[in-house]
Each structure stands twice: as structure tokens, then as C-alpha cells.
Amino acid sequence: MRTPSPLPNPHRLAFTIQCAASRFDSAPNATNPSVSSAAVPSTNYFASGGVGKNRADWQSSCAILASKVVSQQQNTEKTGGADNITVVNGHKTLDLVPVDNLPKPLTITDLSPAPMHGAQMRVAYQGVPGAYSEAAAGKAYPECDAIPCDQFEVAFQAVELWIADRAVLPVENSLGGSIHRNYDLLLRHRLHIVGEVQLPVHHCLLALPGVRKEYINRVISHPQALAQCELTLTKLGLNVTREAVDDTAGAAEFVAANNLRDTAAIASARAAELYGLNILADGIQDDSSNITRFVMLAREPIIPRTDRPFKTSIVFAHDKGTSVLFKVLSAFAFRNISLTKIESRPHRNRPIRLVDDANVGTAKHFEYMFYVDFDASMADVRAQNALAEVQEFTSFLRVLGSYPMDMTPWSPSRDD
């Protein structure tokens, strides 16, 4: 049976109670279902008004009551009262607190995960505005709210503490190699890789307006940016001091904030725009094929699929050293699964393994953790069987994530 539409006034509660009482009185007796409501004495408004048991009578009675409430409210608004007391059905009641002024309860929408792609996604990255990591965050999640962090670990913690929904962090560069710090943090924290993005790196030489290359006696930037531009800087005649800082955009900000007219920074064209610097040289990287791979991190993993190319990242170790590596590689080779990366890092908890030999003495070996990326989804039976076999050989195995591969076409830098 349809419930009457709520009245947009403070007497909605009294009206609802009276209508509910009518429905209860017109229903069979809850204690004895065989006894009809006609046999049960009723003292409420509807019983005294002789309401019938059918739907038409009930709706008619509710309509009469609604008209009485509206007329009484109009009379009250005209007459007013010192105590702001109104009368409903002959009973004095205090006005209820307006619903609009009360805090709204949480809904399932408030607790649901943020959208996978698009607006309102809070994405943490390391650096300051203008950094390449900010550009990677924008490529991974267009229209996102990018949150700068001063350290890689702060970006991890921002996601863990629900300050951010995602983190986009670099893990390797085509010229500089792996960013080992982030591989260590992947193992230390419990975030999951949910995607990857590859960003072409286009370095520029930036300085304050009016400054020429002849005035420069120092160049500052991230260590990898300095290494990636070493030959070009020499060709430009800048045989000057190179100084490493935390990030490329931070170098541009430092030059602008301190008005350093003898210092240039290596950073992006966006950093020049943000901090009011001029571009002295564009595309100064030594190799145009300069690409940085970033991973997208989240608190929860995504559901792996097989309808598009997926990549899976794992990390494992073994108590007996590196001899197990061949067996692990065989598990993937036997199932025709391609490995795209193998990275070894010293085991932080057990960095040294001692092997005693009565003939030659005690040998000391490093213990390693192995990071492996392979081209298969965890929804693929081949990958599941391969990891089941790997688990037999290893003392520790963890899946860092199974995620879609970045399939965007690559284009070289603009200086080509």
C-alpha cells in the first residue's frame, strides 16, 4: 500500500503516527489472527470517525487529517504564540527541530571508493608542482587533485592514511635505471600496484629572465637529470659546477625563490612556466629515448582480467641464497610467460649469509630479494600455476599487483 506523501512542515511526525495507527487498527489482530480489527475496540481518531477497513476509506481519512493539519498550521502562523506551541488533533506539541539544520548521515556513496579515473581523485606524488611525477599523475588520472609530497615515503603514507586515494611514483628510467628507494618502500608498505604509466622526459635548461648562458657558473637538478644531460651541458660550454637537489621542479623553485642569477636549473617546461623562468635550452637530454616508468598505488588491489594485456609484479626470497633463481625462471619459461624485469635488492632483515666450510673457512654472501615483472594476468591459469610452483622453491613470495599495461604509443622527444 502506498504511503502518503510527507508534508513539508513540522507536523509531519504527528500525521505519520496517526496514519500508522489507522493502518495498525485496520489490520488483523497480531495476537489472534482469526480475530478481525472490527472486533478490537479502538479509541484513536480513525476509530471514532468510523473509518472502514478498505483502502478507499483509509485514504479518505488520511486526506481529511491532512487538511486539518494544514488548516491548523495556517491558523497558528496567523495567531502565533509566546511559547511557539501549536495544536495538532487537539494536542499541544512543540515545534520540531528543522530537518535541514541537522547533520546528514553517511550514505553508501560517502563510503564507496573514489572513481577509478577522473574528477575528485586525490593523487599523491613526490616533488613540487611542475615535477615530472605531477605530469605522470595527470596522465594516469586526468582531472585529478594532485597532492605534492616532499618524500617518497610520505606519498606512501598519504594513501595509507586516506589523505590520498592513489600515489603515482617512479620505479625505473630508461637511462638511469631503477629507483631503488621505491622498490624498498614497496616491500615495507602494504599498498598494491593498480596500474602503470610511462612518461617521456623532456629536460630544459632554465634561468631567471635576462640571464644568459655566459653568466651561469652552477647547474642544479635531480641527480638523474644531471646525469641524463651531462654530454649536452658540455656541448653548450657549461663546464660548471653540478649540484644535486631533491627533484627537478624543486631546483627551478629554488632558483626563482632565491633570485639566483648565476644558477640554472634542469627541469620541465611546465616548471619554467610555474616559477617564471626562461628556457635557455630546450630538450637537453643526451638521449631522446628518455622514458620514466611510474606505478600507480592504491590501498586495495584491482580485479585482474584477461580481456586486455596485464602485467604482474612479484617479490620473493629464499633462505638458501640465489641458487633458487634458476628454478623460478624455469617455472615461467616452461609456461611461455615473458619476464620484463628482474631486480635484486639486498635483504634488509638478513643482509649476510654465513656458510661454514671446514676446508676453506667461513664464506659471507649477501641475501637478496628478487623483484620480477611478467606479462600475464593473475586471472590467467598459467600465471596461477607458475606462482604455485615458485612458492614451493621460495621462503617468501608476495604479489605486489596485477594491473593493466600502459599501451599508449610512444613518441620521441620534441628535439628529434
292 is catalytic: yes
| C-alpha–C-alpha distance, residues 304 and 310, integer Å | 8
The pLDDT tens digits for 134-154 are 999 999 999 899 999 989 999
**Domains of the chain: residue spans and CATH:** 119-200+289-300 (3.40.190.10), 203-284 (3.40.190.10), 303-352+364-404 (3.30.70.260)
Statement: residue 222 has pLDDT above 70: yes
Q: How confident is the model at residue 55 (pLDDT cuts 50, 70, 90)?
A: low
Three-state secondary structure along 42-96? CCCHHHHCCCCCCHHHHHHHHHHHHHHHHHHHHHHHHHCCCCCEEEECCEEEECC
Average pLDDT over residues 74-89: 50
152, 156, 294, 370: which one is catalytic?
294
86, 232, 263, 292: which one is catalytic?
292
The pLDDT tens digits for 346-376 are 876 654 444 445 554 444 556 788 999 999 9
Statement: residue 204 has pLDDT above 90: yes
Cell numbers for 321 = 641464497
Whether this model's pTM surpasses 0.85: no
Cell numbers for 123 = 593523487
SS3 content of the chain, % helix, strand, coil (to 5): 35, 25, 40
Where would I find the H helices in 230-268?
230-235, 248-257
φ, ψ at 411 (rounded to 5°): -130, 140
| C-alpha–C-alpha distance, residues 235 and 273, integer Å | 25
The pLDDT tens digits for 7-25 are 444 444 444 444 444 444 4
The answer to whether the CB of 367 falls within 8 A of the CB of 352 is yes
Burial of 47 (0-12, 13-18, 19+ CB in 10 A): middle
Average pLDDT over residues 219-231: 91
The answer to whether the CB of 200 falls within 8 A of the CB of 177 is no
| C-alpha–C-alpha distance, residues 219 and 238, integer Å | 8
pLDDT top residue among 309 and 102: 309
Residue 241 burial (CB count, 10 A): 11
Q: How many residues does the chain have?
A: 416
294 is catalytic: yes
